[in-house]
Amino acid sequence: MNTRFPERKPAPRWRRRKDTRPAEILAAALEIFGERGYDATRLEDVGRRAGCTKGTVFLYYESKSELFKAAVREAMLPQLRETEKLVDEHRGGARELLESLLRMRWDHMERTRLSGLVRLLLTETGKYPELARFYNEEFIDKNQTLLRRVIQKGVDGGEFRAVDVAQAARVVVSPLLFAAVWRHSFDQVVPAPVPLELYFETSIQIMLAGLATSNVHQTV
Amino acid sequence: MNTRFPERKPAPRWRRRKDTRPAEILAAALEIFGERGYDATRLEDVGRRAGCTKGTVFLYYESKSELFKAAVREAMLPQLRETEKLVDEHRGGARELLESLLRMRWDHMERTRLSGLVRLLLTETGKYPELARFYNEEFIDKNQTLLRRVIQKGVDGGEFRAVDVAQAARVVVSPLLFAAVWRHSFDQVVPAPVPLELYFETSIQIMLAGLATSNVHQTV
């Protein structure tokens, strides 16, 4: 799926050298949505940061919600594809695959500028059911499907205990969500910041041992 | 600590039968903060729901943030005390105590009307560092201290593996936070709601097995 260009408008103008391209508009949109939230983002500011006018933004995206969805797809689809590739191509055990998948998700959160987006989704989707539905259908649900596949593989192969697979898929990612919430709300005010890498490593240990059929021979 | 009455003003008026009492104002404040969020809560609306004027609200609470803190203390302190009592008085093993503590926290979330408050803390404390600091110092930090005590007891007694105790205390509560976020943002838009009781039971299984020195003899 090509998200770099809008589907509805053929937009031949992008071929002209000096025009602002959709990709630049989307990058600017993602930054500003992340910094200010959905409500406070204005299309003129997105245009200004992308080096064009509000009119040019509207040329490509019919509304703020269309711009938002396009920017989220631009940011999230490559990550989803990378995760799908990992699961499809993995040849080892389920435990190893689950660990790789969780590390990949963590890396995606840490190395991209998506913490602002996570904050937006946590704080504003309650007000905008359409955005919540979009995000759930296109990303959460697909990521959960991958996690269920991996956990089911572990249960079927005897590596994991007979847990409820759908709920376990939610439990194993909940520490990542905690980290995003913490960074947004509390990290700025506590005297000593949470050592997030150590937190993440601890969560990996607990989740893997918690799913394993036997953890007696594991080192910690 | 008595939070039912403000510390700064002696407020003898609460003795008069027909006056609105602080407790009624706090109950109304908690409801309205939970429903509308911090920004959108107006003191006149709190007064109206409590059956008094904005002036009466100001008689007891100097500002919106003072009212907010008093309402949160009124709601959260009994829960914190109950959790402290559980930990102080428990005589069995650490695993059993941790399970009881997590179930108590879950019950607190489920049976009270605090999910609106959790949403507020997640969504608005980023804008109000003072509220984040207050909540962290008076509740998160105290609850984390209790959890660390329980996990350390398990590590010292050989029931739990040698995890990083401070980070493990954060990991074990992260599924509860996920549930609050989900209920706020996504539950309204998904075709099939998450079965939260099953989710919680699955998280308890994974956390307890993940911390245990050995889980080979456990049934699932």
Over residues A63-112, the pLDDT tens digits come to 999 999 999 999 899 999 999 999 999 999 999 999 999 999 999 887 66
**What is the rounded distance in angstroms from the CA atom of residue B75 to the CA atom of residue B131?**
15
Q: Which residues of B touch A124 (CB under 8 A)?
A: 123
pLDDT of residue B3 exceeding 90: no
pLDDT of residue B182 exceeding 70: yes
Q: With contact defined as beta carbons under 8 Å apart, do A87 and A149 qualify?
A: yes
Q: What does the pLDDT read at residue A213?
A: 94
- Residue B20 pLDDT class (50, 70, 90 cuts): low
For chain A, domain boundaries: 75-211
- The minimum CA-CA distance between A99 and chain B, rounded to whole Å, is 14
> Which residues are bridge partners to B160 per DSSP?
B212
Q: What are the Cα distances from residue A47, in Å, to A17, A61, B112?
A: 17, 12, 46
Measured in degrees and rounded to the nearest 5, phi and psi for residue B61 equal -130, 120
Q: Which residues of B touch A183 (CB under 8 A)?
A: none
**What is the rounded distance in angstroms from the CA atom of residue A30 to the CA atom of residue A68?**
8
What architecture does CATH give domain B75-211?
Orthogonal Bundle (1.10)
Mean pLDDT (whole number) for B16-45 = 85
B215/A211 CB distance under 8 A: no
Q: Cα angle at A171 between A170 and A176, to 5 degrees? A: 90
What ipTM does this complex have? Answer: 0.83
Option in A132, A163, A202 nearest B205 (CB) = A163
- Residue B112 pLDDT class (50, 70, 90 cuts): low
**Tens of pLDDT, residues A13-60:** 444 445 668 899 999 999 999 888 898 999 999 999 999 999 999 999
Determine the residue of chain B that is closest to A207 in CA distance: B210
- Residue B19 pLDDT class (50, 70, 90 cuts): low
Q: What does the pLDDT read at residue B17?
A: 45
Q: What does the pLDDT read at residue A153?
A: 97
**What is the rounded distance in angstroms from the CA atom of residue A101 to the CA atom of residue A147?**
8
Lowest mean pLDDT among A164-178, A185-199, B64-78, B200-214: A185-199
